[in-house]
Amino acid sequence: MTVSIVVPVYNAADTIAACIDSLCHQTHTDVDIVLVDDGSPDESGRICDAKAQQDSRIRVVHQPNQGRTAARWRGTQQAAGEWLTYVDADDQLRVDGIERLLQNATDDTDIVLGNSASIGYPTGTVPIELFRHLTVRGEGTIGVPWGSLYRHSALNAHQFDLPREIINGEDYLFWLRLIFQTQKDVRTLHESIYLKGEEHTSNVFRWTTEYCERLNRLRMGSIPSDVVDDYLGDTLIDRIANLFAATLDEPRSVWQDSVFFREILRDMQHVGMTFSPRQRLFLNLPSRRLRRLYSWWSDCHSFGAQPTYFLNER
């Protein structure tokens, strides 16, 4: 069975060759590798073309720069496989990654989630209703497109129809739109088959409450209107995470008076949710510097048991 691997490529000259090699050397050899050169000004496009000359399973699409989400959609349109996965140009797949994902694909599912350890589930099946709640909360590796397998026919333009300026949180929106369009339960693989390279976007991105508000409008619009109330508490988990990230870079006078913060308080009251004592302490710290120190301390002392800001506390 053919599995398509879509790779958006932009300024990845230092990593794209190793990425492609990891795809070509998969134990499941029936792969269709679609490299989308998104107007790279460096040597990335030429490296892709050279690799395509060496392996007939590789196809290269060159386009003017449109952003990573648009590049993924272009690759999805070009893909030939019944199943599809995404790999970023600075990452790699474990040599048996496609094989292990495909072994868990069935006629009764549209999604195989890799690394289900990140959400605390063994290899098996998660009912679609439960998985939707996990998705809205942004649990574990739900919220990134890479490392999972998707039925090609379940993917469509709506999942990728996002403003180009949404460069952080766009993958979460992809998942939201996908999970509310499929009715099938989700298969999970309790293995990490994806070898993540150095993160770039999230390392330099600075959250603002204005950006959070824009993201939240898209979040709420991605959940069917007739069930929004059923998932309102779940949205708050991720919205609070966004808020606390913004408080590290915005002064209190900005975030406290923002529409985004006021709407969080309103919806928390609506669902009967309150900040935990540690969350209240974090918000009441008098300066961004102290909030950054508290955030750093929380990460260093959680030992992997809970996320930054203790966001799972209700």
Residue 303 has pLDDT above 50, yes or no: no
The residue out of 168, 202, 236 marking a domain boundary is: 202
The CATH number of whichever domain residue 167 belongs to comes to: 3.90.550.10
Q: Are residues 67 and 141 in the same domain?
A: yes
Q: Are residues 109 and 216 in the same domain?
A: no
Q: Are residues 138 and 171 in the same domain?
A: yes
Q: Are residues 197 and 218 in the same domain?
A: no
- Torsion, Cα of 190, 191, 194, 198 (10° steps): 90
- Torsion, Cα of 276, 280, 282, 283 (10° steps): 140
Q: Are residues 277 and 194 in the same domain?
A: no
Q: Are residues 80 and 16 in the same domain?
A: yes
The residue out of 150, 178, 202 marking a domain boundary is: 202
Convert 81-103 to b/e letters by CB count within 10 Å (16 or more is b).
Answer: bebbbbbbbbbbbbeebbebbbe
Q: Are residues 30 and 176 in the same domain?
A: yes
Tell me the whole-structure pTM to 2 decimals.
Answer: 0.91
Read off the pLDDT band of 297 (50, 70, 90): confident
The pLDDT value recorded for residue 198 is 76
Q: Give the count of domains, the chain.
A: 2
- Compute the average pLDDT of residues 298-303: 60
Q: Are residues 34 and 140 in the same domain?
A: yes
Residue 246 has pLDDT above 70, yes or no: yes
Q: Are residues 184 and 232 in the same domain?
A: no
- How far apart are the C-alpha atoms of 221 and 310, rounded to whole Å? 27
Residue 306 has pLDDT above 60, yes or no: no
Q: Are residues 54 and 181 in the same domain?
A: yes
Q: Are residues 90 and 61 in the same domain?
A: yes
The residue out of 136, 171, 202 marking a domain boundary is: 202
Closest CA to 185 of 110, 104, 100, 83: 110
**Residue 233: which domain range?**
206-310
Tens-place pLDDT, residues 70-106 = 999 999 999 999 999 999 999 999 999 999 999 999 9
Of the listed ranges 37-46, 52-61, 190-199, 268-277, the least confidently predicted one is 190-199
Q: Are residues 9 and 74 in the same domain?
A: yes
Residue 153 has pLDDT above 70, yes or no: yes
